[in-house]
Amino acid sequence: MSLVFRLLKRSTGLLGHVAILAFLLITTGASAQIDQEVYDKGEKIFKANCAACHKPDKDMTGPAVKGATQRWEGKGDLHEWIRNSQGYIKSGNPYAKQVFEDHNKIIMPPQAVSNEDIDAILYYADNYAPAGAKPGTTAPAPETAAQPSSNWEWLLITGLLLLVVLLSLGGVRHQLSNAVREKQGLNPEPPLGTWGRIKRWAGRNKGWASVAVLLLVVWGSVLCWNFLFRIGVYGGDKAEHYKPSQPINYDHTLHAGADNLAINCQYCHSGAEKSRHAGIPSANVCMNCHQAVSEGPATGTAEIAKIYEATGWDPTTMTYSGPEKPIVWNKVHNLPDHVYFSHEQHVAVGKIECQECHGPVDTEMDQVQQWTPLTMAWCLDCHNTTEVTVAGSDNGYYKEIHRRLAETPMGQRELRKYLEDEKITVRELGGWECAKCHY
């Protein structure tokens, strides 16, 4: 009887372990399910129609859309409001009137969207997760949260869990053998403890033990290596994007975004096409417009006043009467001094879009961040894969290269082979030569 009892007691321990294992697998495997199709649709319509004034999760010109369904529950028809907010206020709904008054009576213009579109938008906003985080979790985990990121790590976790099960089974065996010893009138073996059991298992299974140790060492080294490689690297998929604060809350989505003012990048970064540096505009460039515009939708007069302070502009007398104090912007992108990089080469000659290297500045960056890693591997990668259209190009620079290659004597096969498939990568033109990028 006591044997059965003890076995039962022991196996509840085992069950506990199995339960933990199942729990871990379930909780880590399945994050809250969301309907990705509706979410994506909502995001698209939101960005096209609402993003000029709303953010899903933060107040901008209009309030955060997240939670609106809840706020309006039982107080009014949100669909009617969105399609024609002023009309709906006139229909006499008190809550609609209150929302309007709470927002300084800024008018939300009528929106040409269907009920289905609105439902998708509201769904998107309620489940909104910032780019990078997985939508669906109500409080998106910070990007740095420890989560197994590779198959390797999953393998290791599974291995460790199996080990736990094995050790528990070992415990059951220990109990059984003690029960047998007891029957034979011998003293029970003292319990070994977890570490003791691992040692005994390793002693009996030397082959497997060394494989396990080897795997642990390899895994540790890979982690170390990855860590070392990320030191000093910002941007890219894996590292945090560098995003220093700025003296003025200048918003690229508002100024450069197609839905908003849609100012051309080179209106302000005029160096990009004709020199190494794209350049940061002086406050005088801002004043082309801000002599007239002294108030913004999100920050009122507070931020634009700083432009006036920098230029010595007095908005009451409309004259430049005060002292000038240049704005000191914080650098976001910064290559080391030993690297040569030219915007002109890439923008004017290579015809590469700013966004390819700087990310969605005009659509997502209310504050500029370093989007790509700017490592040497990043430069080389693009040079290796990007083709330049040399033949038939109306680009004088390439015409010249094509002429020279075509005139290369047949003996110099090395150069002529570039022309055989009419495909030339930046690398073949010398984009991998150390001296092109290093002083």
Task: Kindly report the backbone phi and psi dihedral angles of residue 364, in degrees, each rounded to the nearest multiple of 5, phi listed first.
Answer: -125, -10
Q: Are 272 and 346 in contact (CB under 8 A)?
A: no
Q: Which of residues 289-318 bind ligand HEC (CB under 6 A)?
A: 289-290, 293, 296-299, 303-304, 307
C-beta nearest to ligand HEC: residue: 296
**How many other β-carbons are positioned within 10 Å of the β-carbon of residue 82?**
22
Nearer to ligand HEC, 140 or 279 (CB): 279
- Residues 56, 129: Cα–Cα separation, whole Å: 9
Residue recorded with tokens 């321990």: 13
Q: Does 225 bind ligand HEC (CB under 6 A)?
A: no
Q: Which of residues 366-395 bind ligand HEC (CB under 6 A)?
A: 368, 374-376, 378-380, 382-383, 386, 388
Nearer to ligand HEC, 209 or 239 (CB): 239
Nearer to ligand HEC, 198 or 239 (CB): 239
Nearer to ligand HEC, 10 or 113 (CB): 113
Long-range CB pairs of 216-225, under 8 A, 24+ apart, other chains included: 219/152, 219/153, 219/156, 222/152
Cα 44 to the center of its chain, rounded Å: 18
The residue type at 271: G
Q: Which of residues 115-174 bind ligand HEC (CB under 6 A)?
A: 121
Q: How many residues belong to the site for ligand HEC (CB under 6 A)?
A: 103
The angle at the Cα of 320, spanning 319 to 326, to the nearest 5 degrees, equals 150
Q: Is the dihedral of CA 402, 403, 406, 407 positive or negative?
A: negative
Q: Which of 10, 41, 54, 197 binds ligand HEC (CB under 6 A)?
A: 54
Nearer to ligand HEC, 272 or 405 (CB): 272
Q: Does 84 bind ligand HEC (CB under 6 A)?
A: no
Minimum distance from residue 320 beta carbon to ligand HEC (Å): 16
Q: Which of residues 91-110 bind ligand HEC (CB under 6 A)?
A: 99-100, 103, 106-109
Q: Does 236 bind ligand HEC (CB under 6 A)?
A: no
Q: Are 234 and 242 in contact (CB under 8 A)?
A: yes
Minimum distance from residue 137 beta carbon to ligand HEC (Å): 23
Q: Tokens standing for 50?
A: 């609402």
Q: Are 129 and 136 in contact (CB under 8 A)?
A: yes
Q: Which of residues 402-421 bind ligand HEC (CB under 6 A)?
A: none
Q: Which of residues 3-22 bind ligand HEC (CB under 6 A)?
A: none
Site mask for ligand HEC (CB under 6 A), range 166-205, x = bound: ----------------------------------------
Minimum distance from residue 41 beta carbon to ligand HEC (Å): 13
Q: Tokens standing for 315?
A: 């908005």
User: CB-based contacts of 85: which residues, under 8 Å, 6+ apart?
Assistant: 96, 100, 107, 108, 109, 110
Site mask for ligand HEC (CB under 6 A), range 246-265, x = bound: x-xxxxx-xxx----x-x-x
Q: Does 285 bind ligand HEC (CB under 6 A)?
A: yes
Residue recorded with tokens 């940061």: 280
Q: Does 346 bind ligand HEC (CB under 6 A)?
A: yes
Minimum distance from residue 138 beta carbon to ligand HEC (Å): 18
**Half-sphere exposure for 14 (CA within 13 Å, toward CB):** 18
- What's the Rg (C-alpha) of the chain? 32
Nearer to ligand HEC, 152 or 432 (CB): 432
Nearer to ligand HEC, 48 or 218 (CB): 48
